[in-house]
């Protein structure tokens, strides 16, 4: 199994280093620039716009972040790029815009937000966009079909499982995904420790946690994983606010 030490070398800012959507909103270029300045890796979400362009956006619907009705996948990347996020000057960015902004200065952890039966070309298009990017990039998803697509495309980038659960039947499903030859796991801190993660970590599998917001979650990460995906505080400080 390849080692990706850069994946766990520094805390990972969840949807960028935003301020809980007070003035700097999640998954915006402002949040990503703030993460770069602080030296944090960046986790963010990718959706597939109607023109086949990967955009950085978490929700399926536009109302929470853009205050309008509609489905993000029903809009083109150009249309999304004109929508204000949180009433700020930030617009919905494309993956290409994110790459240009970061320029390899910090690692990127990209989560593909899938929809069953509606993801044809999604994985390959993401790989096409990052093909010539020289910085560190990891790819992950909850959706096993997207993980399979990424692996079938022959990417050299690390591919990881995003997951949660603390029941044996859940672990069985996760283990099925690991048979794809995955490179890391991003797991919900509230379901740690558990036998699945303990076994995978003992085998050398890098484990990151999501989403860490308090001291208990930091302690869980330190005890049972290798790095955290955080929001709402500055992990460089001694204590969590």
Distances in whole angstroms, Cα of residue 96 to Cα of each of 55, 60, 101, 193:
8, 20, 9, 37
Q: Is residue 235 part of a domain?
A: no
Query: How many independent structural domains does the chain possess?
Result: 1
- Write down the pLDDT at residue 1: 56
Task: Tell me the torsion sign for CA atoms 75, 81, 84, 85.
Answer: positive
SS3 content of the chain, % helix, strand, coil (to 5): 35, 20, 45
3-state secondary structure of 162: strand
Q: Are 174 and 193 in contact (CB under 8 A)?
A: no
Q: Is residue 239 part of a domain?
A: no
- Write down the pLDDT at residue 3: 75
pLDDT in tens, the chain (241 residues): 567 999 999 999 999 999 999 999 999 999 999 999 999 999 999 999 999 999 999 999 999 999 999 999 999 999 999 999 999 999 999 999 999 999 999 999 999 999 999 999 999 999 999 999 999 999 999 999 999 999 999 999 999 999 999 999 999 999 999 999 999 999 999 999 999 999 999 999 999 999 999 999 999 999 999 999 999 999 998 555 4
Q: Is residue 125 part of a domain?
A: yes
Q: Which two tokens stand for residue 194?
A: 């558990």
Torsion of CA 164, 179, 119, 4, to 10 degrees: 70
3-state secondary structure of 141: strand
- Write down the pLDDT at residue 241: 47
Q: Is residue 29 part of a domain?
A: yes
pTM above 0.85, yes or no: yes
Q: Is residue 107 part of a domain?
A: yes
Where in the sequence is the domain holding 142, given as residue range(s)? 5-230
HSE-up (13 A, CA, CB side) for residue 4: 26
- The C-alpha angle with vertex 170 and arms to 169 and 172, in degrees rounded to 5, equals 65
The whole-angstrom separation of Cα 27 and Cα 30 is: 8
Q: Is residue 238 part of a domain?
A: no
**CATH number of the structural domain spanning residue 18:** 3.20.20.190
Q: Is residue 240 part of a domain?
A: no
Q: Is residue 241 part of a domain?
A: no
Torsion of CA 151, 46, 100, 85, to 10 degrees: 180
- Write down the pLDDT at residue 238: 54
Strand partners, 47: 55
**Three state DSSP letters for 40-108:** CEEEEEEEECCCCCEEECCCCECHHHHCCCCEHHHCCHHHHCCCECCCCCCECCEHHHHHHHHCCCCCE
- Tell me: the pLDDT tens digits for 28-58? 999 999 999 999 999 999 999 999 999 999 9
């Amino acid at each position: 199994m390849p080692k990706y030490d850069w994946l766990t070398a520094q805390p990972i800012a969840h949807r960028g280093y935003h301020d809980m959507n007070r003035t700097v909103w999640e998954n915006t270029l402002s949040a990503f620039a703030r993460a770069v300045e602080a030296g944090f890796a960046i986790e963010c979400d990718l959706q597939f716009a109607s023109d086949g362009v990967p955009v950085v956006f978490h929700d399926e619907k536009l109302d929470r972040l853009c205050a309008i009705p509609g489905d993000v996948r029903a809009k083109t990347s150009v249309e999304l790029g004109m929508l204000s996020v949180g009433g700020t000057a930030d617009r919905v960015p494309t993956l290409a815009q994110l790459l240009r902004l970061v320029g390899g200065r910090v690692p990127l952890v990209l989560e593909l937000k899938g929809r069953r039966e509606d993801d044809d070309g999604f994985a390959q298009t993401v790989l096409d966009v990052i093909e010539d990017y020289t910085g560190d990039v990891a790819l992950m998803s909850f959706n096993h079909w997207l993980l399979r697509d990424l692996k079938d495309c022959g990417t050299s980038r690390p591919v990881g499982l995003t997951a949660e659960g603390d029941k044996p039947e859940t672990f069985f499903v996760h283990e099925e995904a690991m048979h794809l030859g995955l490179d890391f796991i991003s797991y919900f801190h509230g379901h740690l420790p558990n036998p699945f993660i303990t076994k995978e970590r003992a085998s050398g599998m890098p484990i990151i946690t999501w989403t860490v917001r308090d001291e208990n979650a930091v302690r869980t990460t330190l005890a049972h994983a290798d790095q955290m995906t955080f929001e709402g505080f500055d992990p460089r400080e001694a204590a969590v606010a």
